[in-house]
Structure 1
Amino acid sequence: MAHALIASPFLDGHLLLKPGARAGARISADHYEGLRQAAAVDGESLPAWAVQTASDVWGLELGGHPAQGTVLVREPSPYGYCRASWEINLGCNFGCKHCYLGERPFSGLAWEDKVRLLDIMREAGVLWLQITGGEPTMDPHFQRAYRYAWQAGMMLTISTNGSLLWRPDLLKLFRDSPPYRLVVSMYGASEESFDTLTQRRGAWKAFRRGINAAREAGLPLRINVVVTEDNASEADEMAALADEWNVENHAYTNMTPTIYGGGEPLLAQSAAHLRQRKPFAGCNAGHTFFHADP
């Protein structure tokens, strides 16, 4: 049975979350421990404070529901991680000039190793997981891996080019097990610019088909407007389209070298749209966040 809520340690506190929802609630250590104990007992009711919180924050009516099965209580981790990202596969059905993956071979872990990796992430304390690629929805194990991570109580963000979001099996997956967010990259505001940048005829039509299906399904979307030399003249039009669709959007202008050290993606940048970057002063990688790739 799908859980309605997730209770989890997070950094130096605890959170109560609803799968697929942006809003959450901080809870005390005592409330977390109370949920943990209640969920371990068959038939124990969800505490009154949790019922009230679910109603106030998400409009859920959970009065009389048992804690077991209604709330997934994640165990504390001694490692202190809370976020991770995972390139499930390097392969992609687009050939974008700016891509940091370079040649994009169709490589990824075997299913047993994917399970082992997700188990490690869960045990490390990962609550928010971004699954990316390549194009993650192309991976032969994507749906199984997504469900496995979702059932482990992770809040999932999928970074995708959107070209396959029209598929009924994917739409059903995301309806049944809601993602925290679907981040869709946009490479142009016209067929010509989109297909030129992605180096794939039909890419624009596939993107539009996918984004329209996702919008119609009410999925939680954000668009990354990717601005390069090929589509710079359409930067404002791309943002305007996203606004017209009522989808949150963010302009992405600064590219990075490939993971093999090649500078090819830098040549695709639009000089007029580059943003001044602050000097690197450290980050939380290796402390509360980590990344995994094939």
Structure 2
Amino acid sequence: MRDTLPLLRQTRFPALRRAALDTLQMNLGYLCNLACVHCHVAAGPRRTELMSRETMDVALEFMRRQGIHTLDVTGGSPEMNPHFRDLMRAAKAQGVHLMDRCNPTIIEEPGYDWVAPFLAEQQVEVVASLPCYTSDNVDQQRGKGVFDASIAALQKLNDLGYGQPDSTLTLNLVYNPVNPVLPPPQAALKADYRKFLQDQFGIVFNDLFTIANMPIKRYGSMLLSKGEFGPYMDLLKHAHRDENTRSVMCRNLISVDYQGYVYDCDFNQMLGLDLGAASGRVHLRDLLDQDLEDRPIHVADHCFGCTAGQGSSCGGALS
């Protein structure tokens, strides 16, 4: 896999500082049942990196001391971490809002039939990746059979009340482009998703988040190998909008890797870019009582992926 970091370090991206911290995003490990070509984590079935229960306990203490409102778990497939349920139950007991960035096909994997009922029981907000509403595009990006498995999983979530009118169980979907282009307008695409999935499969959901592909890790390597890295970076830079910098996700969250080290966002974590203003890696245990507000954020050229066009974040478009 070719490394894009040397091409991203020198940047003219505007300086950023953190606002009030309200979200802890935890990467529970790089193990995944899929190996998607767009994956900025380079996750897959052969990855062995998984967060320990001890590191999770540090995170729970951090959330308690810092008054964190939202725990946002990601991976890999976070449900494949053997301590996933313990973490979610403990955070729920602390009154923290739970979000699971879910690859929905995990619900269809042997041995994981507990996932959907558990998420419903714990009132976890599900953010499920579905990069298109047609089978050809999804299977091209994620592998043969992924679309059908995703549809079956979403139907199971609907059966449990997710996405249904008047239900407290939230189901949001995530779209990312198959090709190196900016996502289309979120509102119009959401209407297309809603109509097609309802008409064809009876699936309902709450919201659709559009997210730009990041030119890092597996996706960045693919762009380099195809000679498309430069044009894609030009696209992101030319579409940059300064107003989007006010709403980027890194201003209100920090990202924790499977070992407990802290980064300004999940993308910086994958690039190994240390927490802004730090002289090296910083562990979460060393930040338990630290005020992170107004601290500088480590930026590089990949940050244009969050500010191009309508903007992009873990919660979809910014404008």
Measured after TM superposition, the shift of residue 184 of structure 1 is: 0.6
Shift of the 209–192 alpha-carbon distance from structure 1 to 2, 3 Å rule, reads same
Kindly provide the CA deviation profile for residues 135-164 of structure 1, in whole angstroms up to 9, marking residues without a partner as x.
112222211211121112110111111112
Measured after TM superposition, the shift of residue 242 of structure 1 is: 4.3
**Are positions 1:290 and 2:239 aligned together?**
no
Match of 1:201 in 2: 144
Calculate the aligned-residue CA RMSD, in Å: 3.6
Kindly provide the CA deviation profile for residues 177-215 of structure 1, in whole angstroms up to 9, marking residues without a partner as x.
211x211110233333222211x3221222112111001
Indicate conservation of the 8 Å contact 1:136/1:142, yes or no.
Answer: yes
Matched AA of 2:34: F
Indicate conservation of the 8 Å contact 1:242/1:248, yes or no.
Answer: no
Q: Give secondary structure in 1 for the equivalent of 2:28.
A: strand
Indicate conservation of the 8 Å contact 1:91/1:134, yes or no.
Answer: yes
What pairs up with 1:6-155 in 2 under 5 angstroms?
A: 81-102=21-42, 104=44, 105-155=47-97
Q: Give secondary structure in 2 for the equivalent of 1:84.
A: strand
What pairs up with 1:181-192 in 2 under 5 angstroms?
A: 181-192=125-136
Match of 1:252 in 2: 210
Match of 1:223 in 2: 173
Q: Which runs of 5+ in 2 are unaligned?
A: 1-19, 163-169, 259-319
The separation in 2 between residues aligned to 1:100 and 1:284, in whole angstroms, is 18
What pairs up with 1:156-167 in 2 under 5 angstroms?
A: 156-165=98-107, 167=112
Measured after TM superposition, the shift of residue 261 of structure 1 is: 10
The separation in 2 between residues aligned to 1:285 and 1:237, in whole angstroms, is 26
The separation in 2 between residues aligned to 1:182 and 1:265, in whole angstroms, is 30
Q: Give secondary structure in 1 for the equivalent of 2:147.
A: helix
TM-score (norm 1): 0.60
Kindly provide the CA deviation profile for residues 199-255 of structure 1, in whole angstroms up to 9, marking residues without a partner as x.
x3221222112111001101220111222229999x786453346533133352521
Shift of the 152–261 alpha-carbon distance from structure 1 to 2, 3 Å rule, reads same
Bigger radius of gyration: 1
Kindly provide the CA deviation profile for residues 30-88 of structure 1, in whole angstroms up to 9, marking residues without a partner as x.
xxxxxxxxxxxxxxxxxxxxxxxxxxxxxxxxxxxxxxxxxxxxxxxxxx632121111
Indicate conservation of the 8 Å contact 2:25/2:73, yes or no.
Answer: yes
Q: Give secondary structure in 1 for the equivalent of 2:73.
A: strand
Q: Give secondary structure in 1 for the equivalent of 2:114.
A: helix
Measured after TM superposition, the shift of residue 263 of structure 1 is: 4.9
The separation in 1 between residues aligned to 2:135 and 2:219, in whole angstroms, is 31
Indicate conservation of the 8 Å contact 1:188/1:194, yes or no.
Answer: yes
The separation in 2 between residues aligned to 1:286 and 1:186, in whole angstroms, is 23
Shift of the 277–160 alpha-carbon distance from structure 1 to 2, 3 Å rule, reads farther
Matched AA of 1:240: K
**Are positions 1:276 and 2:242 aligned together?**
no
Matched AA of 2:119: F
Indicate conservation of the 8 Å contact 1:157/1:183, yes or no.
Answer: yes
Matched AA of 2:102: T
The separation in 1 between residues aligned to 2:62 and 2:197, in whole angstroms, is 37
Indicate conservation of the 8 Å contact 1:92/1:106, yes or no.
Answer: no
The separation in 2 between residues aligned to 1:227 and 1:284, in whole angstroms, is 19
Indicate conservation of the 8 Å contact 2:133/2:197, yes or no.
Answer: no
**Are positions 1:171 and 2:121 aligned together?**
no
The separation in 2 between residues aligned to 1:285 and 1:225, in whole angstroms, is 17
Q: Give secondary structure in 1 for the equivalent of 2:118.
A: helix
Paired residue total: 210
Match of 1:52 in 2: none
Shift of the 193–289 alpha-carbon distance from structure 1 to 2, 3 Å rule, reads closer
Shift of the 197–109 alpha-carbon distance from structure 1 to 2, 3 Å rule, reads same
